[in-house]
Structure 1
């Protein structure tokens, strides 16, 4: 006679009545909030940060001369594109898979991120005068970057686990491209984009906890080999796109004198590197956060 009790399951296939631990998601939200505060503290409140930020914005004119027209056209349709993509995918998943609650929380997180961005931008004071020749008007966080990243996050939350690694890679790349485009067009400094990413990550982590606890009937991991969109190399490639710019940043920070008044492109490249490190780094962390939780639930 088997004395080991089997895991409790409901009548629906794949439903596993297991609670997801809250602390990893709350910890992720705290880390995101800390990233937001540190970004503001360094890039706005210190002379070195202001110089790096402003230099990247000025040097972006070099890239803008080559691809500015194309990126400007993309930015013109970015808000509508972001909303349409998120709305179509979320609506399809909601209607086809009947994930009403999950879709509601994903859209709520998207709205909260964009509202937070506007409130923070309006509430923060002008940039302090620290001797750096820069516009005093506060531009942190970037509204365009928030919209793009939050749209990608909404899709990431409602798709099934087998689709999440691929959805995260594509969505993260979309958000990074949007952030770099705002820099190239000299609309936003790199720190504005970083702040936007951290805001989206904060609300996504909180929404993910709710989604994981309400969507137990479909949040089941069948293994990375069961579907092309869940292959491990999606996450590996995302991590690689975060690590390589980080190594480049470390090299440039140690080899380029600070401040470098003769630089023509170094600070722009560092700004792009910062956007890639944070954008793809948060994307990789989000993928691991949700997929590991699903795997633990499945094994129970």
Structure 2
């Protein structure tokens, strides 16, 4: 009789763990679908409003010309930051993401995370260079007339941040890695506006493209069953990332709304820059929500 109690307790504990782990793949699938259902319509709306209307083009051209192409020339630091994102550095980032997954013996995770970065870069190039067009609706400002949506810099930087969140173990490491990479991704998007390389909608759609590919990655891992629930204490430290991102999103969105509602209060340039920053910070928050409480690649090895 005395030996039965520990055995029963042991099996009860195993069953509890199994029940707790079972919803994790379903949660990943649900989150992936929800993120896709948000990212895709928002990206389409941004394109239709900013590119396919004369008012959208007029406002964004004013932002573009007041950046690096106008009175507010880019600083050397901004130009240097943008110059660090090249084909070579993209390759290094993909190799780093895949290497972390392989070291952890999470081989499907390594392939999915690395593939999501490559897919984002290819999708941005195809969308910008082939599929999407920019009609000439705003004439006389001297702004470039070619399509620049989505921003490859924004899309790639945010997809690298998303992949880093996926392959990093849940716990103290994910917030430590997530903080710097998300800050870098948001900064890259803002720098393209400061330098006059991109319009705000380019950054918005680039971030949404990265969110969409990250959602597909989470959905795929959930379908494959390579997701488990992280322990509650493993995920608590990420709260320190939420506050600064939420503040930046609120301040950026506030600047854009004030510029639209009271044009003389906030300059067009700062309204556009605020929108780009709000987009990056909001995407960062969405990525944190997408990965919260989940450990990926748990079914491998």
Q: Identify the residue that residue 75 of structure 1 maps to in structure 2.
A: 82
Structure 2 portions without partners, runs of 5+:
296-301
Q: Identify the residue that residue 226 of structure 2 maps to in structure 1.
A: 215
What's the TM-score once normalised by structure 1's chain length? 0.81
| Contact 1:101/1:214 (8 A) holds in 2 | no
What's the TM-score once normalised by structure 2's chain length? 0.81
Q: Identify the residue that residue 298 of structure 1 maps to in structure 2.
A: none
Give matches, 1:106-117, under 5 Å.
106-117=113-124
Q: 1:25 to 1:87 in 2, by over 3 A?
A: same
Q: Residue 20 of structure 1 is aligned with which of 13, 23, 26?
A: 26
Distance 1:232 1:87 in 2: 29
| Contact 2:43/2:205 (8 A) holds in 1 | yes
Distance apart, 1:43 and its partner CA:
0.7
Q: Alpha-carbon deviations, 1:236-270, whole Å to 9, x = none?
A: 2222221121222222222116xxxxx9x812211
Distance 2:125 2:71 in 1: 28
Q: 1:86 to 1:9 in 2, by over 3 A?
A: farther
| Contact 1:25/1:289 (8 A) holds in 2 | yes
Structure 1 portions without partners, runs of 5+:
258-262, 295-300
Higher mean C-alpha deviation, range 130-139 or range 171-180? 130-139
Q: 1:167 to 1:29 in 2, by over 3 A?
A: farther
Distance 1:64 1:176 in 2: 20
Matched residues, number:
280
| Contact 2:67/2:269 (8 A) holds in 1 | yes
Distance apart, 1:293 and its partner CA:
5.2
Give matches, 1:258-269, under 5 Å.
266-269=267-270
Distance 2:244 2:186 in 1: 14
Distance apart, 1:281 and its partner CA:
0.5
2:156 is the alignment partner of 1:155: no
Q: Residue 197 of structure 2 is aligned with which of 153, 167, 187?
A: 187
Q: Alpha-carbon deviations, 1:49-89, whole Å to 9, x = none?
A: 11121111111136753x43222222222123344244224
Q: Residue 136 of structure 1 is aligned with which of 137, 145, 161?
A: 145
Q: Identify the residue that residue 97 of structure 1 maps to in structure 2.
A: 104
| Contact 1:47/1:132 (8 A) holds in 2 | no
RMSD of aligned Cα (Å): 3.0
Distance 2:218 2:138 in 1: 40
Q: 1:46 to 1:26 in 2, by over 3 A?
A: same
Q: 1:210 to 1:8 in 2, by over 3 A?
A: farther
| Contact 1:106/1:158 (8 A) holds in 2 | yes
Q: Identify the residue that residue 298 of structure 2 maps to in structure 1.
A: none
* 1:20 counterpart SS class: helix
Higher mean C-alpha deviation, range 103-112 or range 245-254? 245-254
Q: 1:9 to 1:105 in 2, by over 3 A?
A: farther
* 1:245 counterpart SS class: helix
